[in-house]
Chain A
Amino acid sequence: EAQVTQNPRYLITVTGKKLTVTCSQNMNHEYMSWYRQDPGLGLRQIYYSMNVEVTDKGDVPEGYKVSRKEKRNFPLILESPSPNQTSLYFCASSLLSQYNEKLFFGSGTQLSVL
């Protein structure tokens, strides 16, 4: 089944403790991205990647890191989480074309930073 898999689904941590949210897709998509969802703000893009070893900032990259060492994986790293990073996070992937293909989203990771 074609899917984007994120782990964990729920995560509670404390300020300053490094964490990684994993994301993997099995559709051979070139493009992958991370979004965060906050009430009233919809989803905002954090980082994206157009291929292996190619990443760039989205709208709200501060406090986050990503890497794309393999085509299928795109982990999101919070080196020193803070309470304002409490949010619902989504990983997404798509084919890369000039036609802005639809994004396939993972199930989401609810992160709470205490």
Chain B
Amino acid sequence: AQKVTQAQTEISVVEKEDVTLDCVYETRDTTYYLFWYKQPPSGELVFLIRRNSFDEQNEISGRYSWNFQKSTSSFNFTITASQVVDSAVYFCALSEAGNAGNMLTFGGGTRLMVKP
């Protein structure tokens, strides 16, 4: 069975600090997909990134970067020079290839508060 753990339930930083959100996953499949979604205070879910299990290259998009390490089953998310607008709940999710339901298994989420 697949499982995603986000051990940090809440993180508080001051603007311009760097912050890393941890995500650890469990799966028996060799082919799977990892996702990050952002949920701002308005409540909608915003897609950030999708990664397949064969692509371990780190990814950078502006102030966001992702570190995928299969050896530790982790897919961590770093925000550099955080801003107040980054305040949100962030979800990591896993989907196993061939899962008929295309089901995303979500972690419990990490609430990030960026203070001015």
**Could you list which residues of chain A lie within 8 angstroms of chain B, going by C-beta atoms?**
31, 33, 35, 40-45, 48, 50, 56, 58-59, 88, 90, 94, 96, 98-108, 110
Would B91 and A43 count as touching, CB distance under 8 A? yes
Complex: A102 Cα to B9 Cα, angstroms: 24
A42's partner among B32, B97, B107 (CB-CB below 8 A) is B107
With A90-B45, A102-B35, A105-B44 in contact, is A48–B4 under 8 Å at CB? no
Does B62 make an interface contact (CB < 8 A)? no
Minimum CB distance partner of A95 in chain B: B102
| B binding-site residues for A, Cβ under 8 Å | 4, 6, 9, 32-33, 35, 37, 43-45, 47, 50, 52, 91, 93, 95-104, 106-109
Contacts between the two chains (Cβ within 8 Å), count: 71
| A110 neighbours in B (Cβ, 8 Å) | 43
Question: From DSSP, what is the main secondary structure of chain B's interface residues?
Answer: loop
Indicate if the CB atoms of A96 and B101 lie closer than 8 Å. no
A31's contact among B47, B50, B102, by CB below 8 Å, is which?
B102
Please state if B43 and A42 are interface contacts (CB–CB under 8 Å).
no
A45 touching B101 in the complex, CB below 8 Å, given contacts A40-B9, A40-B108, A102-B50: yes
Q: In the complex the two chains form, is B101's CB within 8 Å of A48's CB?
A: yes
**Interface centre among A40, A44, A48, A103, by most B CB within 10 Å?**
A103
